[in-house]
Copies of this chain bind each other. A is one copy, B any other.
Amino acid sequence: MKAPPNTQSNIRASISDAEWQVMDAIWSTPSAAAAAEVIASLQARTDWSPRTIKTMLNRLVKKGVLHYQADGRRYLYRAAVTREKCVRVQGRSFLDRVFGGQAGAMLAHFAKHEKLSKKDIEELKSILEQKSSAAHE
């Protein structure tokens, strides 16, 4: 049950709540972003001090999920992992934690309890169609 010590290739270093928001800002920036840009972007949605955001950037770099390249005396940051990859990792961890890995149960849960637009429903149905036709017999 004990997590193995981090090996650098391992993307496992889990991204915390606050860190996720920073990554979100990075992910939604085309190409690379300077700290100042990340800060500006986040101050629109949080009340964090710039210091705090810099700390996050640092930690994310240490965790290996952010890379940077020097540009004069500042850094340009870019994600080292895709949002999709992180979403998959976080999603699976959540699924295991809360639903014991039962994807069906989870989907049923959210389908029941969350608001869905007609469009959401149509799209989901269509995904399910493909899924069932592609499924093994």
Question: Are B135 and A107 touching (Cβ within 8 A)?
Answer: no
List the B side residues contacting A119 at CB < 8 Å. 104
List the B side residues contacting A116 at CB < 8 Å. 103-104, 107, 128, 131, 135
Question: Are A107 and B124 touching (Cβ within 8 A)?
Answer: yes
19 contacting pairs across A/B (C-beta < 8 A): A1-B47, A1-B48, A20-B98, A88-B113, A90-B94, A90-B98, A91-B110, A95-B114, A103-B114, A104-B116, A104-B117, A107-B107, A107-B110, A108-B120, A111-B124, A111-B127, A112-B127, A116-B131, A125-B125
User: 3 tightest CB-CB pairs across the interface, nearest first?
Assistant: A104-B120, A103-B114, A111-B127
**Which residue numbers of A lie inside 8 Å of B, CB to CB?**
1-2, 17, 20, 24, 46-48, 87-88, 90-91, 94-95, 97-100, 103-104, 106-121, 123-125, 127-128, 131-132, 135
